[in-house]
A and B are shown apart, each in its own frame.
Chain A
Amino acid sequence: MYPDDLKYSKEHEWVRVDGNIAEIGVTVFAQDSLGDVVFVELPEVGTKIRQFDKFGEIESVKAVSDLYSPVGGTVIEVNSNTVDSPETVNDDPYGRGWLIKVELADIGQLDALMDSETYESSLE
Chain B
Amino acid sequence: MTDEKLKKTALHATHVAAGARMVPFSGWDMPVQYPAGIIAEVNAVRNSAGIFDVSHMQRLIFEGPGTEAYLGIILSANMPAIKIGRSKYNFICNERGGIIDDALVYRTAEHRYLLVINAGNTTVDRRWLEAHKSGLAALTKDPEFSVSIVTDETAMIAIQGPSAVAIVDGLTGGEASKIRKFRIGRMHVAGIDATLARTGYTGEDGFEIIVPAEQGLKLWSLLKDAGAVECGLGARDVLRLEAGLPLHGNDLSTGTNPFEAGFDRFAYFEGPGCIAADALRRISKTEQKRQLVGFKMIGRGIPRAGLKIFAPSANTDGEKPNVIGTVTSGTHSPTVDGGIGMGYVEKKYADTGSHIVIDVRGRPIEAEIVEMPFYKREQAADSAV
Bound pair: A and B?
A: yes
Q: Which of A's residues lie within 8 Å of B, judged by CB?
A: 35-36, 38-39, 41, 57, 59-62, 64
Q: Which residues of chain B have C-beta atoms less than 8 A from A59's C-beta?
A: 302, 332
How far, in angstroms, from A61 to B32 measured CA to CA in the complex?
11
Number of interface residues of B (CB under 8 A): 19
Contact at A57–B361, with CB atoms within 8 Å?
A: yes
26 A-B residue pairs with Cβ-Cβ distance under 8 Å, sorted by A, are: A35-B33, A35-B37, A36-B37, A36-B38, A36-B39, A38-B39, A39-B300, A39-B301, A39-B332, A39-B339, A41-B300, A57-B361, A59-B332, A61-B38, A61-B39, A61-B234, A61-B238, A61-B331, A61-B332, A62-B32, A62-B38, A62-B234, A62-B237, A62-B331, A64-B302, A64-B304
Taking the nearest CB of chain A, how far is it from the CB of B326, in angstroms? 17
Q: Which residues of chain A have C-beta atoms less than 8 A from B300's C-beta?
A: 39, 41
Taking the nearest CB of chain A, how far is it from the CB of B300, in angstroms? 8
Contact residues of B: prevailing secondary structure? mixed
Contact at B37–A39, with CB atoms within 8 Å?
A: no
Q: Which residues of chain A have C-beta atoms less than 8 A from B361's C-beta?
A: 57, 64
Contact at A39–B33, with CB atoms within 8 Å?
A: no
How far, in angstroms, from A62 to B302 measured CA to CA in the complex?
10
How far, in angstroms, from A60 to B304 measured CA to CA in the complex?
11
How far, in angstroms, from A64 to B305 measured CA to CA in the complex?
12
Partner of A38, one of B21, B32, B302: B302
Q: Which residues of chain B have C-beta atoms less than 8 A from A62's C-beta?
A: 32, 38, 234, 237, 331
Contact residues of A: prevailing secondary structure? strand
Q: What's the count of A-B pairs with C-beta under 8 Å?
A: 37
Contact at B332–A35, with CB atoms within 8 Å?
A: no
Q: Which of B's residues lie within 8 Å of A, judged by CB?
A: 21, 32-33, 37-39, 234, 237-238, 300-302, 304, 331-332, 334, 339, 361, 363
How far, in angstroms, from A59 to B300 measured CA to CA in the complex?
12
Contact at B39–A39, with CB atoms within 8 Å?
A: no
Q: Which residues of chain B have C-beta atoms less than 8 A from A35's C-beta?
A: 21, 33, 37-38, 234
Residue of A nearest to B233 (CB): A62
Taking the nearest CB of chain B, how far is it from the CB of A61, in angstroms? 4
A-B interface, 4 closest residue pairs, ranked by CB to CB distance from nearest:
A38-B332, A61-B38, A36-B39, A36-B37
Residue of A nearest to B40 (CB): A36
How far, in angstroms, from A61 to B337 measured CA to CA in the complex?
11
How far, in angstroms, from A36 to B32 measured CA to CA in the complex?
13
How far, in angstroms, from A64 to B361 measured CA to CA in the complex?
10
Taking the nearest CB of chain B, how far is it from the CB of A25, in angstroms? 19
Residue of A nearest to B363 (CB): A41
How far, in angstroms, from A62 to B363 measured CA to CA in the complex?
19
Residue of B nearest to A38 (CB): B332
How far, in angstroms, from A38 to B300 measured CA to CA in the complex?
11
Q: Which residues of chain B have C-beta atoms less than 8 A from A36's C-beta?
A: 37-39
Contact at B38–A39, with CB atoms within 8 Å?
A: no
